[in-house]
């Protein structure tokens, strides 16, 4: 107890101003004083010599109740008292995959639900690290009086952020919800764990599909105190309404998580993350929202909480659902290396095409007759368009996917995986209005990796049009493509003396 008592004296001084300014329902002073009856700051166990008689001397009713339960041996600390290792920071993500966000901020799941109002959280040694709590409003409804898509609060996830300090934290929760530990590090493998005890928390639990069974899943759903259940897979984190999960996945929790993991696996395969051992120790978050059908933002991917969209998001056909692959593909697309202006709804669909077809679906471009329309309106149009000015993203996708088809035909299955690995190891060629230079780098690399002169192919699809072009793509881009840029690209390809393709790549379909 020597270490605890030293901290206690310091805490009295540092908290004096707070105590003077407020009179909380849970007295920080009383809780702090009663900690002398426990072995550490987090009240993980009673002191060795603690007896029944010592209960009378305790000042905090909360801590007295905790001590009584521990004395009787019926305190279940599961979920409420845990140690948390940090999640790799986005800096690590950027170093590994040249991605910046879209992975979960809520991956340190506690399985604890905090009611609104004052709560007591006990925190152990922080080792000089910054650690906090996040309480997201998963079930936030659109602002009254506004169409959901025009919500003045936006579509994004709202959350309460609470910074923690060592020892007693009396926190004010504005809105009840599941709580997550906000602890990220650039050195996650060596960073220390932090112990946290949610003394006033309620257990909601969470489902870890890598170790738990469908019986565990059903039990969690049946006993949930929160309207949202957390799910942890190998590569994915899910946060969906308990009501919908009961309706669509009862008895199938493992299958739900495994289906999302299959989607993630094929996307990692396509990007080269699997081949080059770059799969991060992080999870992408898929969650419910009530503003829009489906979208990707800085917190991950979101699917609307309507019956129809929830069936797509958590039903049995997740592995081949285009929308799931499409939105996760948005997280995986590399900006601006393979996502220059005009490519936001294109490079992600390379992932969608590869993923859905790898998992058993037929080609969306074929079954929806998109090839035929694009050949007529773009490839064989009387007046050739600059490819980035093509309005329909599926029409724009075709030449990029035809490169994949060609690579498959010549036996180069890892073409895009190798291409993206190369790009990860090179600086990009420009951002904003200069991002178009990445397209000409892409053209050169296609020829290099495929050992083929594809000049005619790219020319036919309008990659070599010159002029000034305005492209709207979740922002405005003004590109100037000069004859010099085209000449330089063509000269580079010609200098390699690659053979022309043995087939007309512009006619390839699947």
Q: What is the DSSP letter of 503?
A: S
List the chain domain ranges: 28-75, 82-332, 343-507
Task: Look at residue 311 and give its three-state secondary structure.
Answer: helix
Q: Is the pLDDT of residue 18 over 50?
A: no
What digits encode the pLDDT tens for the residues 302-321? 999 999 999 999 999 999 99
How many other C-beta atoms can be found within 10 angstroms of the C-beta atom of residue 277?
A: 8
How far, in Å, CA of 431 to CA of 428, rounded? Answer: 8
List, edge to edge, every strand of the sheet that includes 167-173: 81-84, 194-198, 117-123, 167-173
DSSP helix/strand/coil, 233: coil
Q: What is the pLDDT of residue 309?
A: 98
Tell me what the mean pLDDT of segment 100-120 comes to.
97
264 versus 100: the higher-pLDDT residue is 264
Q: Taking phi first (over 0 means left), then psi (-120 to 50 degrees means alpha), and beta for anything else, what does residue 196 get?
A: beta
Provide the b/e sequence for 11-34 (b: ≥16 CB within 10 Å).
Answer: beeebeeeeeeeebebbbbbbbbb
Q: How far is CA 14 from the centre of its chain?
A: 38
What does the alpha-carbon distance between residue 383 and residue 182 come to, in Å, rounded to a whole number? 54
Q: Give the closest residue to 104 by CA, choosing from 281, 259, 256.
A: 281
Same fold for the domain at 82-332 and the one at 343-507? Answer: no
pTM: 0.93
Please give the pLDDT value at position 10: 39
Q: Which CATH class is domain 82-332?
A: mainly beta
pLDDT score for 25: 80
CATH superfamily of 343-507: Peptidase M60, enhancin-like domain 3 (1.10.390.30)
What would the two tokens of residue 29 be? 């002073």
How does residue 105 score in pLDDT terms, banded at 50, 70 and 90? very high
Q: What's the pLDDT tens digit per position in 358-409?
A: 999 999 999 999 999 999 999 999 999 999 999 999 999 999 999 999 999 9
For residue 19, give every residue at least 6 positions away whose Cβ sits within 8 Å of its Cβ, in sequence order, or none.
28, 29
């Amino acid at each position: 107890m020597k270490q605890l008592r030293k901290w206690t004296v310091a805490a009295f001084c540092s908290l004096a101003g707070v105590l003077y300014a407020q009179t909380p329902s849970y007295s920080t002073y009383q809780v702090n004083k009663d900690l002398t009856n426990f072995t550490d700051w987090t009240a993980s166990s009673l002191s060795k010599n603690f007896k029944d008689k010592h209960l009378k001397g305790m000042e905090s009713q909360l801590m007295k109740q905790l001590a009584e339960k521990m004395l009787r041996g019926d305190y279940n600390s599961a979920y409420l008292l845990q140690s948390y290792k940090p999640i790799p920071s986005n800096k690590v993500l950027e170093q590994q995959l040249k991605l910046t966000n879209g992975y979960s901020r809520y991956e340190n799941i506690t399985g604890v639900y905090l009611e609104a109002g004052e709560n007591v959280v006990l925190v152990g040694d922080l080792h000089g690290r910054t650690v906090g709590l996040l309480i997201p409003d998963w079930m936030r409804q659109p602002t009254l009086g506004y169409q959901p898509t025009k919500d003045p609060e936006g579509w994004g996830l709202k959350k309460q952020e609470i910074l923690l300090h060592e020892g007693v934290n009396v926190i004010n929760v504005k809105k009840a919800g599941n709580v997550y530990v906000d602890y990220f590090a650039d050195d996650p493998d060596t960073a220390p764990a932090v112990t946290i005890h949610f003394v006033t928390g309620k257990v909601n639990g969470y489902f870890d599909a890598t170790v738990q069974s469908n019986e565990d899943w059903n039990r969690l759903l049946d006993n949930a105190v929160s309207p949202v259940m957390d799910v942890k897979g190998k590569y994915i984190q899910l946060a969906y309404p308990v009501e919908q999960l009961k309706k669509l996945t009862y008895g199938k929790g493992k299958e739900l998580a495994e289906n999302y993991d299959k989607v993630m696996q094929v996307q990692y395969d396509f990007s080269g993350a699997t081949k080059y051992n770059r799969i991060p120790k992080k999870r992408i978050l898929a969650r419910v929202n009530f503003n829009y059908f489906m979208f990707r933002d800085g917190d991950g991917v979101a699917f609307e909480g309507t019956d129809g969209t929830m069936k797509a998001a958590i039903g049995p056909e997740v592995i081949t659902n285009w929308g799931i692959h499409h939105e996760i593909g948005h997280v995986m697309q590399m900006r601006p290396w393979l996502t220059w202006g005009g490519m936001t709804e294109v490079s992600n669909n390379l992932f969608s095409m590869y993923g859905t077809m790898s998992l058993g679906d037929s080609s969306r471009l074929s079954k929806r007759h998109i090839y035929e329309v694009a050949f007529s309106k773009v490839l064989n149009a009387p007046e050739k368009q600059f490819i980035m000015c093509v309005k329909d993203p599926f029409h724009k996708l075709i030449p990029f996917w035809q490169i994949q088809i060609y690579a498959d035909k010549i036996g180069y299955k890892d073409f895009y995986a190798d291409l993206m690995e190369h790009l990860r190891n090179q600086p990009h060629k420009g951002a904003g209005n200069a991002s178009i230079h990445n397209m000409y780098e892409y053209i050169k690399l296609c020829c290099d990796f495929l050992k083929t002169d594809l000049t005619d192919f790219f020319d036919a699809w309008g990659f070599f049009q010159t002029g000034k072009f305005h492209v709207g793509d979740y922002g405005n881009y003004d590109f100037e493509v000069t004859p010099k840029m085209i000449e330089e690209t063509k000269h580079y390809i010609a200098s390699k003396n690659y053979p022309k393709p043995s087939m007309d790549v512009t006619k390839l379909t699947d």
